[in-house]
């Protein structure tokens, strides 16, 4: 099991590494924020919306093929340095998002199948790989651009080796032999619709804010006259890295105390840290790094906890429910970048800060959604009653 988990962890590291490139590339290439946000949101919406369908086919025996396809498509973001206009950039971003839609439900499904008793721990460990890849993406990418004279194509080499390793490895697999029908497709969600709907809204709200914040973070660091290291990827590293470190202990806490309790505590601290950071007009290098680290540690683990919770509610369809909690939520969450770009254009004074003030209301919205999710015991009883009636 450990070998499978490590291979999935490494694959997730590379895939999410690629998703972190666009926010810093648009800043160093001086691309208009509104246009950059528009194509990021549209490509994310179109690409990630397909996760639900790829998740369905993952649960029917195509997990490994879709995971390998996802890594190949995701690496296409390395071609962004060849883009000559905003339209070509859009199509490259669309390939990246299609790769994400193929990879995430497949890899999360494999992870969920590794252990019936430790889904929270395994999925949070898997998610930590993605968080580490996302955290180092901007610093590594900008360094490679400098070293290789404007390109980062050297990263195609480890991707090829990883895809080859995946093709030779046999994962624990499960699949349904049923043919496609909307009854089979929607069945797991209808049986737990109240809980999954609230978790879905939580995911949309949280991911929208995270997308907007990471999209604007390089510009926010510049607006606050922060150290150049923070502006060129260090702030992004600080924001993402702590979530990678807290995901594994968060998995243990979820298995022990319940997902709802952990989420409510995490979201409460997130809203305090978010506005505490924005309201500070001047911060030292150390204080900025510390606040970004703590904030990222809180906001970053909401997503994998929700995925883990969804897998626990619908254990028979791990890839499909992972696709619901990720792709079907992320497609709308990616529009957070679009909304951020539009709000920035509408603001006259301190547009970056004011935009984040407005979008910060999504954090208390997350708290309310989680608060009204029924407890696990109530969900189980409700499902049994529906089965009895049927």
Q: 137: closest CA among 307, 19, 295, 256?
A: 19
Whether the CB-CB separation of 233 and 221 falls below 8 Å is answered with: no
**Domain assignment present for 179:** no
pLDDT band of residue 386 (cuts 50, 70, 90) is very low
Residue 117 is predicted with a pLDDT of 62
**Domain assignment present for 90:** yes
pLDDT band of residue 368 (cuts 50, 70, 90) is very high
Weakest mean pLDDT among 12-16, 113-117, 127-131, 382-386: 382-386
The tally of domains found in the chain comes to 1
Mean pLDDT of the chain: 84
Tens of pLDDT, residues 54-96: 776 777 778 888 899 999 999 999 999 999 899 999 999 999 9
Query: Which stretch, 21-35, 109-123, 313-327, has highest mean pLDDT?
Result: 21-35
For 29, half-sphere exposure in the C-beta direction (CA atoms, 13 angstrom radius) is 23
Residue 380 is predicted with a pLDDT of 46
Residue 390 is predicted with a pLDDT of 44
SS (H, E, C) 304-351: HHHHHHHHHHCCCCHHHHHHHHCHHHHHHHCHHHHHHHHHHHHCCCCH
Rounded Cα gap, residues 252 and 308, in angstroms: 12
Angle at 15 between CA 138 and CA 233, to 5 degrees: 10
- Domain containing 10 equals 2-171+185-389
Does 180 score more than 60 pLDDT? no
pLDDT band of residue 9 (cuts 50, 70, 90) is very high
**Domain assignment present for 176:** no
Report the pLDDT averaged over residues 233-255. 84
Q: How far apart are the first and last CA of the chain?
A: 38
**Domain assignment present for 218:** yes
**Domain assignment present for 89:** yes
Whether the CB-CB separation of 29 and 148 falls below 8 Å is answered with: no
Does 193 score more than 50 pLDDT? yes
Tens of pLDDT, residues 111-170: 877 766 666 678 778 888 888 999 899 999 999 999 998 899 999 999 999 999 998 887
Contacts of 26 (CB under 8 A, 6+ apart): 33, 36
Q: Is the pTM of this model over 0.85?
A: no
Query: Which stretch, 8-12, 192-196, 247-251, 255-259, has highest mean pLDDT?
Result: 8-12
Residue 244 is predicted with a pLDDT of 78
Q: Give one DSSP letter per residue of 84-139, joined into a string.
A: -SHHHHHHHHHHHHHHHHHHHHHHHHHHHHS-SS-HHHHHHHHHHHHHHHHHHHHH
Whether the CB-CB separation of 319 and 191 falls below 8 Å is answered with: no
pLDDT band of residue 191 (cuts 50, 70, 90) is low
CATH code, domain with 371? 1.20.1250.20
Run of H or E residues at 150: none
Residue 376 is predicted with a pLDDT of 58
Residue 185 is predicted with a pLDDT of 54
Let me know how long the chain is. 390
% of the chain surpassing 90 pLDDT:
42
Residue 389 is predicted with a pLDDT of 42
Rounded Cα gap, residues 197 and 104, in angstroms: 20
Q: 62: closest CA among 107, 97, 100, 18?
A: 107
Residue 378 is predicted with a pLDDT of 46
Does 37 score more than 60 pLDDT? yes
**Domain assignment present for 51:** yes
Residue 189 is predicted with a pLDDT of 59
Does 362 score more than 80 pLDDT? yes
Whether the CB-CB separation of 359 and 336 falls below 8 Å is answered with: yes
**Domain assignment present for 178:** no
% of the chain surpassing 70 pLDDT:
86
Q: 244: closest CA among 13, 32, 18?
A: 13
Compare 379 and 311 and report the one with higher pLDDT.
311
Compare 125 and 372 and report the one with higher pLDDT.
372
Report the pLDDT averaged over residues 41-49. 87
Weakest mean pLDDT among 13-22, 31-40, 280-289: 280-289
């Amino acid at each position: 099991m450990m070998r499978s988990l490590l291979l999935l962890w490494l694959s997730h590291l590379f895939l999410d590494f690629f998703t972190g490139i666009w926010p810093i590339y648009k800043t160093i290439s001086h691309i208009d924020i509104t246009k950059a946000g528009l194509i990021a949101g549209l490509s994310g919406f179109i690409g990630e919306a397909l996760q639900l369908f790829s998740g369905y086919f993952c649960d029917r025996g195509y997990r490994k093929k879709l995971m390998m396809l996802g890594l190949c498509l995701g690496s296409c973001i390395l071609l962004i340095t060849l883009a000559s206009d905003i339209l070509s950039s859009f199509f490259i971003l669309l390939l990246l998002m299609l790769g994400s839609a193929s990879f995430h439900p497949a890899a999360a499904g494999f992870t969920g199948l590794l252990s019936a008793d430790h889904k929270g721990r395994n999925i949070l460990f898997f998610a930590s790989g993605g968080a580490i890849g996302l955290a180092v993406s901007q610093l590594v990418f900008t360094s490679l651009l400098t070293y290789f004279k404007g390109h980062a194509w050297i990263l195609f080499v480890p991707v090829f080796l990883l895809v080859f390793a995946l093709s030779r490895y046999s994962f624990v697999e499960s699949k349904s032999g049923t043919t496609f029908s909307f009854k089979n497709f929607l069945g797991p969600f209808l049986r737990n619709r109240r809980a999954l709907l609230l978790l879905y809204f939580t995911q949309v709200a949280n991911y929208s804010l995270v997308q907007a914040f990471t999209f604007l973070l390089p510009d926010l660091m510049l607006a606050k006259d922060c150290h150049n290291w923070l502006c060129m990827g260090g702030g992004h590293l600080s924001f993402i890295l702590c979530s990678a470190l807290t995901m594994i202990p968060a998995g243990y806490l979820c298995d022990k105390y319940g997902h709802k309790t952990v989420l409510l505590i995490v979201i409460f601290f997130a809203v305090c840290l978010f506005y505490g950071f924005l309201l500070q007009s001047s911060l030292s290098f150390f204080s900025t790094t510390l606040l970004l680290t703590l904030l990222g540690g809180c906001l970053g683990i909401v997503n994998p906890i929700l995925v883990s919770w969804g897998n626990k509610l619908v254990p028979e369809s791990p890839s499909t429910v992972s696709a619901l909690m990720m792709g079907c939520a992320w497609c709308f969450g990616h529009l957070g970048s679009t909304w951020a770009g539009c709000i920035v254009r509408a603001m006259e004074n301190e547009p970056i800060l004011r935009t984040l003030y407005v979008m910060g209301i999504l954090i208390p919205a997350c708290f309310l959604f989680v608060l009204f999710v029924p407890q696990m015991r109530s969900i189980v009883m409700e499902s049994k009653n529906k089965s009895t009636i049927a």
